[in-house]
Structure 1
Amino acid sequence: MRGFRTPGDKRPLVLLLGWLGSKQQHLNKYSQMWQDLGAQVVQHQPSILQTAMPSAQDKALLRFMKDFNYLYSSLCTVRGDTPPVLVHTMSNAGFIAFGTMLHLVSLLSSPIVAPAARDSPRLVFDPTQMAASGGLTARSYGLWGGEGRGVRRMGGSGGEHPFATDPPAMAVLSAFRQVLRNTQGIIIDSAPSQATPGIWSRGFLSAVFSEGAHDIAESHPLLLRGTHALAERYLNLPHVVKRIREIRHAWQYRVPPCPQLYLYSEADALIPYHHVELFMQQQAAHGIPVNSHRWVDSAHCEHLRKHPQQYTNLCRSFSEYCLHGHTSPEVWV
């Protein structure tokens, strides 16, 4: 397997965020792929409890960011330079986890991302390369519910977060902001979707029983109906609505201005592919360079298993494009 065409001291550090209920052994194949390409990998597996309870997720992600900061600082010391960072999220849970990190860092008063003037042309959005979107505006599609304008007014918060008055927590967030400023690319696998009771209930049961989303309706029909009813109530809880808006706001206004690659499938029984494509259009309208590959036959989070060589080639080519501008997306997407 051909690795990155880059010097050893510029090899990226990959932040790998797993799907709901994923374990280390589930993510090892992705870690191995990145390691074979020459990158270092740090994993985070979002638990069901953490994803369902915003306060628990905040504490878990703060601990993870603290550990990640330590590793990143150590690499900076060893290499004598700041290594580039790539983010690889899996399913809605990984998407939510990274969105939560972005939101938490936004508790700092200054901007998360570096100023617009940058020395790398790969972060400059060329509107001539954007696919026609029928007059799409920046907030014409509200993925996570609520009007974009209203969310922006509230800054994605709507009340002081406990971390805002916790100096050690703010120190962790400040250090992680530097990581975000060195983030060069983001890969989103099998996500995102709208937050609907149907998607939430199928994803929850799929994580609980470690079964594919396409099997849940047939194997647990009664439980699925009950979980769907609970999901309707859960998604209307004030603190859940607030967190959904915070994540949406963070992905719209706080995400690093680096290229994004969406890997998804028409055969995904959990995440409708048109949800992914609508979100891609939204990100492009915000000036984010968006790339994508859509399969027709791979199940949810099964693209690497179904298409190992193609998946690896896409990740490698995208990473080289982000890090060095090697090969335009038209060649490899």
Structure 2
Amino acid sequence: MGEEEGIDYNVVFPEPRLSEKYWRGSKEPVVILLGWAGCRDKHLTKYSSIYNSQGCVTVRYTAPLKTVFISESFGYKDLRSIAHKLLEILFDYEVENNPIFFHVFSNGGFMLYRYMVELLQSHKQFSSLCVVGTVVDSAPGSQNVRGALRALKTTLGPNVNVVLRCFLLVLFAVMVVLLRVVLYPLTKYFHKNHYDAMMESPAPWPQMYLYSRADRVIRYRDVERMVRVLQEKGLSAESFDFITPAHVSLFRDCPEDYSSRCHTFLTSCMTRREETQSTKRFQVQH
């Protein structure tokens, strides 16, 4: 477990024999897992094991609840500074030359991912990092107030005082409706929501969206629309509907299928990277 200027994260390095087995002397991928709001590290560990078993380095992090539900809703970009610190970790552990791969959960992870994508595309220090792909689980959603309330209610849990829980939910609902729906035609000029931002300036690397039409927090139509827009822009975007699982329960309900899809997608992203590098080397030689 590490701490970078106040943010708690976990980094796991694989056994050398596993890295050699799967990546045959190439630098193993560094998989950055960004948890959903309220996600505990023990939950994220189960997902990181999918990649650790394949000889990957993993970095696990979940943004604080207040940052996801309050700061973002009010237009404060606290997540941007967190995104900056997380990318700096790659340099601290000297893996900045390894292929980078993201695995992002729900809107809580996707909001943070949005700022990391922006930094990767605009910040001089991070422009040298090589991202090969992203898996997005149960995200992104757009202006779904009912879904956001369900997410907050689940995150608060039954131990929070009933009166306090009701007060927080009402306050959050009013705030979101006012700032992110009613006034959004004005507020978007100084703080665009994560969905619109990522649709207008998407990540250029391959992406795979895993979702469920039974999800009551993220509307499946929002996910499908995002994939469709990315494809129309000529980007590599694929998706799979698990149909029945609840929000962020795809892996829990379908562990083998989920793991297999993640493994296959990561391998295809790495193969694509190798082919691109081979083409560049050939062009330089000739």
The TM-score, its normalising length taken from structure 2, stands at 0.75
Name the residue aligned to 1:305: 252
Structure 2 residue aligned with 1:196: 144
CA shift in 2, pair 1:241/1:32, >3 Å: farther
Are 1:66 and 2:88 an aligned pair? yes
2:153 and 2:169 in contact (8 A); partners too: yes
Q: 1:279 to 1:89 in 2, by over 3 A?
A: same
Equivalent residue runs for 1:139-218 within 5 Å: 173-179=123-129, 182-209=130-157
Distance 1:254 1:325, change over 3 A: closer
How much does 1:239 deviate? Answer: 5.7
Distance in 2 (alpha carbons) for counterparts of 1:286 and 1:202 = 32
Q: Which amino acid aligns with 1:46?
A: A
Shift of 1:47: 1.4
Measure the CA separation in 1 of the matches of 2:190 and 2:90. 27
Structure 1 CA distance for aligned equivalents of residues 192 and 144 of structure 2: 11
Report what 1:19 is aligned to: 36
Offset at 1:85?
1.2
2: CA distance, partners of 1:210 / 1:18? 21
Match of 2:115? Answer: 100
1:119-178 CA deviation, whole Å, 9 max, x = no partner? xxxxxxxxxxxxxxxxxxxxxxxxxxxxxxxxxxxxxxxxxxxxxxxxxxxxxx422222
Name the structure 2 match of 1:75.
95
1:103/1:247 contact within 8 Å kept: no
Give the AA of the match of 1:99.
R
* Preserved CA contact (<8 Å) 1:265 1:296: yes
How many residues end up aligned between the 2 structures? 242
Shift of residue 5, structure 1, vs aligned partner? 4.3
Q: Secondary structure at the match of 2:210?
A: strand
**Partners of 2:33 and 2:59 within 8 A in 1:** yes
Match of 1:230 in 2: 175
Select 1:265's aligned residue among 212, 222, 228: 212
Q: Which runs of 5+ in 1 are unaligned?
A: 77-81, 109-172, 212-219, 327-333
Q: Give SS of 1:233's match.
A: helix
Letter of the structure 2 residue corresponding to residue 242 of structure 1: F
Structure 1 residue 202: deviation in Å?
Answer: 2.1
* 3-state SS in 2 of match to 1:292: strand
Query: For 1:157-201, what per-residue CA distance to the aligned partner results, in whole angstroms no more than 9, with x for missing partners?
Result: xxxxxxxxxxxxxxxx4222222xx11111110011112322222
In 2: Cα distance, 1:298 partner to 1:38 partner: 28
The letter for the 2-side match of 1:260 is Q
What residue in structure 2 maps to residue 124 of structure 1?
A: none
Which residue does the alignment assign to 1:48? 65
Greater relative contact order (Cα 8 A, min sep 6): structure 1 or 2? 1
With over 3 angstroms needed to count, the CA separation of the structure-2 counterparts of 1:19 and 1:35, relative to structure 1, is: same
Structure 2 counterpart of 1:91:
106
Taking the aligned partners of 2:157 and 2:187, their CA distance within structure 1 comes to 27
Counterparts in 2 of 1:266 and 1:224: CA distance versus 1, 3 Å: same
Q: CA deviation at 1:229?
A: 2.7
1:15 aligned counterpart, secondary structure: strand
Aligned 8 A contact 1:61 1:101 in 2:
yes
Distance 2:260 2:43 in 1: 20
The structure-2 alpha-carbon separation of the partners of 1:38 and 1:250, relative to structure 1 and needing over 3 Å to count, comes to: same
- Displacement after TM superposition at 1:270 (Å): 0.6
Q: TM-score of the superposition, structure 1-length normalised?
A: 0.65
1:291 to partner: Cα distance: 1.4
> Contact conserved, 2:27 with 2:99, CA < 8 A, in 1?
yes
**Cα 1:62–1:9 shift into 2, 3 Å:** same
Identity %: 23
Question: For residues 178 and 78 of structure 2, what CA distance do their matches in structure 1 show?
Answer: 19
Q: Is the 8 A contact 1:89 1:98 kept in 2?
A: yes
1:86 to partner: Cα distance: 0.9
Amino acid of the structure 2 residue aligned with 1:319:
L
The AA in structure 2 aligned to 1:293 is: F
What is the CA-CA distance between 1:25 and the residue it aligns to? 1.6
- CA displacement, residues 283-304 of structure 1 (integer Å, 9 cap, x when unaligned): 1111111111111221111111
How far did residue 58 of structure 1 move?
2.2
RMSD between superposed Cα atoms in Å:
2.8
Say whether residues 1:28 and 2:48 are aligned partners: no
AA of the residue aligned to 1:194: S
- Name the amino acid aligned to 1:33: I
Q: Displacement of 1:258 after TM fit?
A: 1.9
Q: Which residue of 2 aligns with 1:112?
A: none
Gaps of 5+ in 2: 1-17, 160-164, 274-286
